Amino acid sequence: MSTAVLENTSTSTATTTQAYSFAIDPTPEQGNLLRSHIGGSRFAYNVLLGLVAANWDENREKKAAGLEVTKYDYLSTSHFGLLYLWAETRNELAPWWGENGVSTYNDAAQRLSKAFTNFHRGRAKFPTFKRRGQGGSVRFTNTAVRLSDAHHVRISRIGEVKTYESTRKLYRPVNRGTAKIMAATVCERGGKWTVAFTVEVQRRVCAARAPERVIGVDVGLTTLYTGTTPDGEQVLQVANPRHLQHSEKKLAHAQRIAARRQGPRPGQAPSSRWKRANTRVQKIHSGVANARRNLIHETTTMLAKDYDVIVVEDLNVAGMLKNRSLAKHISDAAWGEFTRQLEYKTKWYGSTLVKAGPFYPSSKTCSRCGTVKAKLSLDERTYHCETCGLAIDRDVNAAINLARLGLPGTSSGTGRGGEVRPVASTDPAHPDEASTDTPPESGA
């Protein structure tokens, strides 16, 4: 839910961040230049990470030796702190640094700083070194990139790069002044190049609607999305499509093959058999990701258009990282993208997204009597209530509990879910991910 939307009772304009991505066709020479930028960014990232890690080790040793360590002994991991560290060390460690544009190193410092922030907040492990041959990408700042026309992107130091498809849907609003390019990320995957623009878009937003139609959506393992109304009517059921399940199996198989080949290691080039296997993995991966993204787009557009309040679970990220099973991983991925899209689409259509707190027991609570089970294992597909005798599909039960959080005047969960407060999300759409759909209306 966007508070900005709620405060306006009539149509107004709002700025949102959105991503547009296009396939590009660089010449072999441009491809080499882009690879040099990607490699330079990776190099700077690894150098900076190495310096910070060594600094931490040194401080740890000092402490162990009984010496005093203050915060001034630590290198800064802020974006600017890391840029400063790079400026201090680049002449010695990377005398060739001037061959690439400044975006390259700014990108490295920014990414590493973000990785450290995620680590400090407990959202990720300690940053790891980036390996060669993983594809990789480089982000250019807005001063280094622009659209010359609907078929060419001008990147500083690289030149005019042709796009495969027309960039009209971005070129037009940029020319009209209703969209502004903030950055562009170029990446190579499976031999294919894409550019993803992060764009600030001015668009009209609909007035928020009265909460009449409420839906709770549970993301599950067998059924991808289960949606019900607060009265328990099941109105949405999206299965993990069979062709997608098939491709996912193929992907897992290709990954196992690649894992048996001689991959890249420090001081050792990967085998050509590994390269071939890895290209295959990347290809299947991008196919699966695209198909899944389209499915998620269809579902989120329908929800944001047809419902006034959509309630979803705010997943516990730490818990997500622990479970390594493939099915769980897929449903987590489906959830992340699903919520991200709902965040901006609810703004477009004037509906409201409510996120239940990460500890709200939507699966463990009985939707009839409110009893909360102490334990409910993942393979229990049916919820059996010992108190009132209710037997109901696990996902439907969870969706009903979520839907009830979206009813007007609800400040906590049903029955005993007392610690829960639905959190209205004010996060802007993630700019890093590319989306290919178009908003309902744009332009001021």
Among the listed ranges 102-110, 169-177, 229-237, 367-375, the one in contact with Zn ion (CB under 5 A) is 367-375
Among the listed ranges 285-293, 323-331, 368-376, 398-406, the one in contact with Zn ion (CB under 5 A) is 368-376
Cβ 398 to Zn ion shortest distance, Å: 14
Give the residue with the Cβ less far from Zn ion, 265 or 375: 375
Give the residue with the Cβ less far from Zn ion, 102 or 390: 390
Cβ 174 to Zn ion shortest distance, Å: 56
| Nearest Cα residue to 46 out of 281, 229, 266 | 266
Among the listed ranges 45-53, 252-260, 285-293, 370-378, the one in contact with Zn ion (CB under 5 A) is 370-378
Among the listed ranges 119-127, 134-142, 254-262, 361-369, the one in contact with Zn ion (CB under 5 A) is 361-369
The continuous run of DSSP H or E covering 417 comes out as: none
- Give the dihedral sign, CA 65/70/73/79: positive
| Nearest Cα residue to 161 out of 180, 182, 140, 145 | 145
Cα–Cα distance measured from residue 338 to residue 342, given in angstroms and rounded to the nearest whole number: 6
Q: Under the criterion CB under 5 A, does residue 69 sit at the interface with Zn ion? A: no
CA 296 to chain centre: 13
CB–CB of 310/352 below 8 Å?
yes
The continuous run of DSSP H or E covering 247 comes out as: helix 242-260
Cβ 385 to Zn ion shortest distance, Å: 3
Q: Considering CB under 5 A, how many residues would be counted as binding Zn ion?
A: 8
Which residues are paired to 313 by β-bridges? 356
Cα–Cα distance measured from residue 296 to residue 224, given in angstroms and rounded to the nearest whole number: 10
Give the residue with the Cβ less far from Zn ion, 114 or 373: 373
Give the residue with the Cβ less far from Zn ion, 323 or 387: 387
Binding mask 302-341 for Zn ion (x = CB under 5 A): ----------------------------------------
Burial 128-167 (b: 16+ CB within 10 A, else e): eebeeeeebbbbbbbebbebeeebbbebebbeebebeeeb
CB–CB of 282/135 below 8 Å?
yes
Q: By CB under 5 A, what part of segment 270-309 binds Zn ion?
A: none
Q: Under the criterion CB under 5 A, does residue 366 sit at the interface with Zn ion? A: yes
Cβ 323 to Zn ion shortest distance, Å: 27
Q: Under the criterion CB under 5 A, does residue 369 sit at the interface with Zn ion? A: yes
Among the listed ranges 100-108, 142-150, 362-370, 373-381, the one in contact with Zn ion (CB under 5 A) is 362-370
Cα–Cα distance measured from residue 65 to residue 119, given in angstroms and rounded to the nearest whole number: 26
Q: What is the DSSP letter of 240?
A: -
Q: Under the criterion CB under 5 A, does residue 364 sit at the interface with Zn ion? A: no
Give the residue with the Cβ less far from Zn ion, 224 or 385: 385
Alpha helices for 65-213 (secondary structure H)? 79-93, 103-120, 168-176
Cβ 368 to Zn ion shortest distance, Å: 5
Give the residue with the Cβ less far from Zn ion, 35 or 373: 373
The answer for residues whose C-beta is within 8 angstroms of residue 312's C-beta and 6 or more apart is: 216, 217, 219, 335, 338, 339, 342, 353, 354, 355, 356, 402
Cβ 390 to Zn ion shortest distance, Å: 5
Cβ 178 to Zn ion shortest distance, Å: 53
Among the listed ranges 93-101, 145-153, 333-341, 371-379, the one in contact with Zn ion (CB under 5 A) is 371-379
Give the residue with the Cβ less far from Zn ion, 291 or 390: 390
Give the residue with the Cβ less far from Zn ion, 59 or 371: 371
Q: Compute and round to an integer the Cα radius of gyration of the chain.
A: 24
Give the residue with the Cβ less far from Zn ion, 369 or 424: 369
CA 70 to chain centre: 36
Cβ 311 to Zn ion shortest distance, Å: 20
Cβ 365 to Zn ion shortest distance, Å: 9
For residue 348 the two structure tokens come to 């477009």
Give the residue with the Cβ less far from Zn ion, 269 or 388: 388
- Cα dist from 117 to 39, 46, 121, 190, 433, whole Å: 23, 17, 6, 30, 19
For residue 417 the two structure tokens come to 């879910």
Give the residue with the Cβ less far from Zn ion, 106 or 414: 414
- State the number of CA atoms in the 13 A half-sphere of 61 facing the CB: 6
Cα–Cα distance measured from residue 180 to residue 198, given in angstroms and rounded to the nearest whole number: 9
Pick one of 192, 250, 368, 373: the residue that binds Zn ion (CB under 5 A): 368
Binding mask 378-407 for Zn ion (x = CB under 5 A): -------x-xx-x-----------------
Residues composing the chain: 444
By CB under 5 A, name the binding residues for Zn ion: 366, 368-369, 371, 385, 387-388, 390
